[in-house]
Amino acid sequence: MDWMLLGKAAIALGGPSVLFGALLAIASVRFKVETDPRVDEVFEALLGGNCGACGYPGCQPAAEAVVKGKAPVDVCVAGGRPVAEAVAKIMGVPLQVRERGVALVHCKGGFNESLPKAIYEGISSCAAADKIAGGWKACSYGCLGLGTCKAACPVNAIIIDEDGRRWVRREKCTGCGLCVEVCPRGLIEIVPRDQEVLVVCNNRDKASIAREVCSVCCIACRKCEKACPNGAISIHDNRAWIDYEKCDQCGKCIEVCPNNVIVRVVPAPVRRRKKGKVPSATIRKVERLIDREIP
Amino acid sequence: MNEAYRYFLIFLGALLVYNILLIRFIALCAFFGISSQVETSIGMAMSVLFVMTMATAVSWIAWNYILHPLGVGEFLYIPVFILIIAALVQFVEMVIRKISPPLYRGMGIYLPLITTNCAVLAAATESVKPGFLKMNIAYHFSLPEALIYTIGVALGYGLVIIMFSCIRERIKTAPIPHSFKGIPIAFIIAALLSLAFMGFANLLGI
Amino acid sequence: MIEKIRKLVVPLTIVCIVAALGLGFTYGVTRERISKQEKEKEAEACMEALPQVKTPRELKESKDLLNKAKKVISDSKVEIEKVFTSKKGIVFVLRSRGYGGMISLAIGISLIGEITGVSVISHNETPGLGANLENPKFRKQFIGKDKRSKLQLGKDIQALTGATFTSNGVVRGVKAALKIFDLIKGK
Amino acid sequence: MRAKISIFWVEFKKGFIEQNPLFKLLVGLCSALAVSTKVENGIFMGIAVIFVLVFSNAIIALIREKIPYDVRIPIFIVVIASFVTIVDLTLKAYFQPVYERLGVWIPLIVVNCIILARAEGFAYKNPVLGSIADGFGMGLGYTVVLLVMGVIRELLGTGKIVLFEKTIISLSHFNPPLIFIMFPGAFITFGCLMALLNRYEARKKG
C-alpha cells in the first residue's frame, strides 16, 4: 500500500474542504439573511409544481407570502384542501376554508345556436381567431370555442363538446382564474360557488342585431328584471346582470326568460360505480358533463 | 499559429462546433424545464456564464497547484472539482442574496440548479484534462485559454437555450398532434436544431 | 463564529478525508492493472502494425527519435506520442484528428519505408460510421504504400462510407508517419 | 419484517413506474441520450448508475443526522463523487473497451441530476432501507429506458444489435437510416417515446 499516496489524497481533498467549509461558514454568518424557518416548511408543503395559479411567480414566493401573512393558508390552488390543511398546521392557524368561486363562461351558443359569419381554419387559439376580422362568429361577443381556456385550465375542468359548447366541471374547478385571463373576449367570470342561477350571455348588441346572430342570446327584454322579487336583476349594456348578493335563487327569472339565457346550474348526482364494472366510453362521457342546466 | 487566432478558434469551437447542448448532449436536464419561457432562459444563461467562468478559474488553479503537483489528479479530480463547484455556487448564492436582492431575484433562483449542471463540471474538467470532452484540442490550456474556452461554452449554452425558448414560445399556439404537446415536441425541435448545428462540423478546420 | 466554522468544517472535512482515503485505496488497487492494460493494448496494436515483430520485447521505445519527430512534424492536426524501434522497422504511435475526437493510431513502417500495417488503439468515432475504421478491410489498403504514394481518398484509398473526416484522419496520420520516417531515417 | 418488505416494494415501484426519472421527472437526460447508441452501453451505464445511486443513498441516509444543513450539498456531492470515481477506476481497470465508449459519461454521473435529487429529496429525510429501495427503483427505471432507447436506436441506426460481440438480431435487406445513431436521432427517439407514453396514458384515462 502506498501510504504517501493516501496522505497526498487526504491533503488534496481535505485541504479544499477545510477552505470551502470555512468559507461557507463565514458566509452563512456574515451574509445571513433573516428568513423565517417556516418559509421552507411551507414551501415543502406546497405542491411544488410552480404552476403560477396562485398568482405568485412560483412556490417559493408563495411560501414567503404565506409566512408574511400576505397570502392565505389556502394559497395553493392546485393543491386544494390537503395542502391548505398542511400549511395551516405549519402556520398554527385554524384553517378557514375560503369558499372559492367557480368559473362560468358567459356564452351558451354552440354551433347550432350561434351563427357563423366565416369558416375559420387558422391555428387553434381563440386569441388568434379573435384577431382575424373579429372572429368567425357573427356574434362579436360570443365564445369562439377553440379551447384556449381549456388548455389553460390546470385541472382539466373545462370541456368543449361536439356542438362547440363549453361546460365547466364544477367539482373539479378550483376557481383559480387562469381561464379568465386567457379568454380574449373576457367571457369567463368567477362566480360564487353556491350561486346556481346565472346569466350565460354577454351579448351587448341591441335586440334587433342580437336576435339575428344567435338563438340563445340576451335581448334585454327586461322580463327577468320585472319578475325578480328581490330586485337582484338589472339591465344595462343590453344584457341582464344578476346581483349575487341580493339573489335568493328563486328561479322566477328562469321561467320568464324567452331565450333561456338565464339558467340554473346544478351539480349532477354522483353515480356510484359497481365494483369491477368499468363504464364504457360513452357512459363516461355523459358522466363527465357533470353540470347540466335546468331551464 | 497567431495567438489571437488561436483564441478565436478555441472560442468558436466551444460556441458552435462542439456546442455543449446540441452536439455534446451535456446539461440537458435543466434545459427542457427552463427553456419554456424566454425570460427564465435568459436568467439561466447569465447564471451559467457567471458560475462557469468562476468554477473553471478555481478548478484550473486547484489542478495546476494542488492536484497535479501531488500526483493525485488522476483519481481525485471529480470530487475536488465538484466540491469546488458546489461550495462556490452556495457561497455566491448567499452573497448575492445579501448584497443585491434584485440580482438574486433575477439570477439567484437558478443557482441551485447549476450545481447539478453537467456543463459546469464538464467545462472545468475539459480545461485541465484536454480530451475529456473530445474537443479535438490536444494541448493543455493556459489560464486565459481556459477562460476563453469556458466563456465560449457558456455563451454557446446561452445561445441555444434562448433560441430554443423563443421557438417553444411560438410553438405554443401551433396545431400539434395531441400526444406531442409540451415536452415531446420540444425534443423534436431539439433534434432539428441539433441537425443544424451538425452543419458547423469542421468549420474553419476546428 | 468560531463555533459555526467548527460545526460546518469538521463534518465536511471528515467526509472528504474518508472519501480521499477510500479513493486512494481504490486507485492503489487498480492503478497497476490500468497501466498494464494500457501497455498491453498498445503493444498489441504495435505488433499488429508491424507483423514481422513477434514479441513485445523486440520493440524499444526511443525518446531520442520521438524528440526528433516532434521537431519535424508540421501538421497541427497530428500529434506524435511514441516511437518504437526494432530490427524489422519502426512503429509510430500518434493521434490524429477524426470526427469525434483524436484517433489513436499505431503505424508500422518497414526499414525500406513501406507501411506494414495500421492499427487503431482508441477512437471515439460515431458508431456505424466512423467506428468502421476498426474494420481491417479499410486499414489493409494502406499496406505497402510508401512516400511516393499520394494516398488520395477515393483514388488510392477507398474512404469509409459516410465518414470522410474519419478516413481523412487516418490518411493524415499515415502521411505524417511516412514523412517523419523519411526525414529521420538518415540519422 | 413484512412491513419492511412492503416499504421496500413501495419505494422501489415508485421510482420504477410512477416517477420514472427520465419520462416523468425529466432528469438524467444527458447521459441517457448520449450513451443509448448501443444496447450494451445502456447495460453498463445502467449498472453504474444503479451502483452509485444505491450506495450514495445508503451512505447519506446512514449519516444524515450528522450532516449540518448549510454544507449538506457539498457533503452529498463528495460522497457521490467518490462512488463515481470508484466506478470510473474499476471500469478502466477491468472493462477497458466499455470504458472507452462510455468515456466522459462515467465521470459525469456525478452531476446526473437523478442522483443529487434523490440524495437531497429522499435519502436525507428517510431511513436506510427505504433509501436503498428508492435508489434501486430509480436506477432501474433509468436503465430500462436506456435499454429501450438503445434497442430502437441500434436496430434502426445500424440494422443489427450486437451484444458482447455477438450479433443478436440482424435485419437483412435494410438500409439503416444513420440519423438514429447520430445526435438528432436521440432527441427524435426520446420525443416519440414520450409522445407514445402520453397517448397511452390519455387512452387509459379515457
| B169-189 per-position pLDDT tens digit | 888 777 788 788 778 888 899
Chain A residues touching residue B80 (CB < 8 angstroms): 12-13, 16
Domain with CATH 1.10.15.40 in chain A: 37-91
Pairs of CB atoms within 8 A across A/D:
13
Q: Which residues contact B96 (CB under 8 A, 6 or more apart)?
A: B103, B104, B107, B108, B111
What's the Cα-to-Cα distance from A136 to each of A49, A127, A204, rounded to whole Å?
36, 12, 18
From C131's Cα to the closest Cα of chain D, the distance in A is 11
Contacts of A210 (CB under 8 A, 6+ apart): A139, A203, A217, A218, A219, A238
**Chain A partners of D73 at a C-beta cutoff of 8 Å?**
none
Interface of A with D in 233-292 (CB under 8 A): 281, 284
Q: Give the one of C26, C27, C124 whose C-beta lies nearest to B134's C-beta.
A: C124
Amino acid B155: pLDDT? 93
Q: What angle do CA D132, D137, D141 make, to 5 degrees?
A: 150
Question: Using a CB-CB distance cutoff of 8 angstroms, which residues of chain D are in contact with residue B26?
Answer: 30, 108
Burial status of residue C81 (CB atoms within 10 A of its CB: 0-12, 13-18, 19 or more): middle
Measured distance between the N- and C-terminal CA atoms of chain D, rounded to whole angstroms: 39
What is the bridge-based pairing of β-strands A102-105 and A188-191?
Answer: antiparallel
Compute the distance between CA of residue C186 and CA of residue B38 in angstroms, rounded to an integer: 65
Buried residues in A94-120 as b, exposed as e (16+ CB within 10 A): ebeeeebbbbbbbbbbbeebbeeeeeb
Closest CB to B121 among D82, D108, D202: D108
First-to-last C-alpha distance (Å) of chain A: 90
Q: What is the C-alpha separation between B14 and B206, in angstroms, rounded? A: 10
State the cell numbers at D107: 465521470
Q: With contacts defined as CB-CB under 8 Å, which chain B residues touch C97?
A: 136, 138
Chain B residues whose CB is inside 8 A of the C100 CB are 134
Antiparallel, parallel or unpaired: β C115-122 and D160-163: unpaired
Would the pTM count as exceeding 0.90?
A: no
User: CB D77 to CB B83 under 8 A?
Assistant: yes
User: For residue A73, which amino acid is it?
Assistant: V
Q: Residues 6 or more apart from D158 whose CB is under 8 A from it?
A: C127, C128, D176, D181
Q: Which residue among A2, A13, A20 sits closest to C20, beta carbon to beta carbon?
A: A13
pLDDT, average across residues C169-173: 84
DSSP C80-97: EEEEEE-SSEEEEEEEEE
Which residues in chain B are contacts of D192 at CB distance < 8 A?
184
Please, what is the Cα angle at C41 between C38 and C44, to 5 degrees?
Answer: 150
What share of chain C in percent tops pLDDT 90? Answer: 0
Q: Which of B80, B134, B204 should be substituted to probe chain C, the one whose Cβ sees the most C Cβ atoms within 10 Å? A: B134
- For residue C158, pLDDT over 80 is answered with no
Res D159: pLDDT:
80
Which long-range contacts (C-beta less than 8 Å, at least 24 apart) are formed by C72-80? C72/C179, C72/C180, C72/C183, C72/C184, C73/C176, C73/C180, C75/C172, C75/C176, C76/B1, C77/B205, C77/C169, C77/C172, C78/C172, C78/C173, C78/C176, C79/B138, C80/C176, C80/C180
Q: C125 CA to chain D: closest CA distance, Å?
A: 9
Task: Check CB contact of A9 with chain D, cutoff 8 Å.
Answer: no
Distances (CA, A) of A156 to A31, A159, A263: 44, 8, 23
Q: What is the ipTM for the molecules in this complex?
A: 0.73
DSSP states of A225-241: HHH-TT--EEEETTEEE
Helix, coil or strand: residue A122: coil
Q: How far is A281 from chain D (nearest CA, A)?
A: 7
Which residues share a beta bridge with C115? C109
| Residue B151 banded pLDDT, cuts 50, 70, 90 | very high
Compute the half-sphere exposure of residue C63: CA atoms within 13 Å on the CB side of its CA: 0
* For helices B73-99 and B118-128, angle between their N-to-C axes, nearest 10 degrees: 130
CA D107/CA C23 separation, integer angstroms:
14
pLDDT of B106 above 70: no
Grid cell, residue B102, equals 434584485
- Specify the pairing of strand C102-110 against strand A262-266: unpaired
| CATH architecture of structural domain A37-91 | Orthogonal Bundle (1.10)
Give SS3 for D1: coil
**Most distant CA pair in chain B: distance in Å?**
60
Q: Which residues contact B139 (CB under 8 A, 6 or more apart)?
A: B130
C7/A24 touch (CB, cutoff 8 Å), yes or no: no
| List of chain A residues with pLDDT < 70 | 1, 33-35, 47-58, 77-81, 95-99, 266-295
- Quick one: pLDDT at residue A47? 63
Q: In which residue are the cell numbers 424557518 written? A: A37
Determine the pLDDT at residue A285: 39
- Tell whether D206 lies on the interface with A, counting CB pairs under 8 A: yes
Element (H, E) at B94: helix B73-99
Q: Is residue C3 part of a domain?
A: no
Terminal CA-to-CA distance of chain C, rounded, Å? 70
Give the model's confidence band at B134: pLDDT under 50 very low, under 70 low, under 90 confident, else very high. low
* Cβ under 8 Å to B: C residues 114-173: 124, 165
Q: What angle do CA B36, D203, B174 make, to 5 degrees?
A: 35
User: Chains A and B: how many Cβ contacts under 8 Å?
Assistant: 64
**Beta-carbon separation of C124 and D100 below 8 A:** yes
Contact yes or no for B75 and C23 at CB 8 A:
yes
Distance between C34 CA and the closest CA of chain D, angstroms: 5
Instruction: Name which of B115, B107, B47, B50 is nearest B84 in CA terms.
Output: B115
Sequence-ordered list of residues with C-beta below 8 angstroms from that of A152, at least 6 positions apart, any chain: A178, A179, A181, A182
Residues 6+ apart with CB under 8 A from D88: B75, B78, D99, D106, D107
Neighbours of D145 (CB within 10 A): 22
Inter-chain CB proximity A29 and C4 less than 8 Å = yes
Q: What is the pLDDT of residue D51?
A: 92
Question: Angle B198-B202-B205 (CA atoms, 0-180°, nearest 5)?
Answer: 160
What is the distance between the alpha carbons of residues A166 and C32, in angstroms, rounded to a whole number? 73
Partners of D195 on chain B (C-beta within 8 Å) are 177, 179-180, 184
Is residue C106 within 8 Å of C44, Cβ to Cβ?
no
Q: In whole angstroms, what is the distance from residue B134 CA to residue C99 CA?
A: 9
**Three cell numbers written together for B3:** 495567438
Domain range A102-294, its CATH number among 3.40.50.1700, 3.40.50.11740, 3.40.50.20, 3.30.70.20: 3.30.70.20
Mean pLDDT of chain C: 79
Residues of chain D where predicted confidence (pLDDT) is lower than 50? none
Q: What is the pLDDT of residues D145-179, one digit of tens each?
A: 889 899 998 888 888 787 777 777 777 777 778 78
Q: Do C9 and A17 touch (CB under 8 A)?
A: yes
Distances (CA, A) of C61 to A257, B161, C42, D99: 103, 49, 12, 26
Q: Does C9 sit within 8 Å of A14, measured CB to CB?
A: no
Helix/strand/coil percentages in chain A, nearest 5: 35, 15, 55
Q: How far C178 CA sits from the closest chain D CA (Å)?
A: 28
Query: Does the CB of C84 have a partner CB in chain B at under 8 Å?
Result: no
The separation between the first and the last C-alpha atoms of chain B, rounded to the nearest angstrom, is 13
B22/B136 Cα distance (integer angstroms): 17
Q: Which domain holds residue C99?
A: 56-184
CA atoms within 13 A on the CB side of B67: 24
The stretches of chain C forming alpha helices (DSSP H) are: 2-49, 63-72, 136-140, 164-184
Rounded to whole angstroms, how far apart are CA atoms A101 and A168?
A: 12
Measure the CA–CA gap between C23 and D159, rounded to whole angstroms: 41
- CATH 3.30.70.20 residue spans of chain A: 102-294
- Do C26 and B134 make contact, defined as CB atoms within 8 angstroms? no
All 3 cell numbers of residue A45? 408543503
Residues comprising chain B, all counted: 206
Residue A166's H or E segment, with its range, is: strand A166-168
Could you tell me the three cell numbers for D202?
A: 390519455
Check pLDDT > 90 for residue B33: no
Query: 328562469: which residue's cell?
Result: A254
| Pairwise CB contact (< 8 Å): C24 & A29 | no
The grid cell for B36 is: 419554456
At A98 the pLDDT is 59
Q: For B56-114, list the strands marked E by DSSP.
A: none
| pLDDT per residue as tens digits for the range A41-53 | 787 777 655 555 5
Residue B159 pLDDT: 92
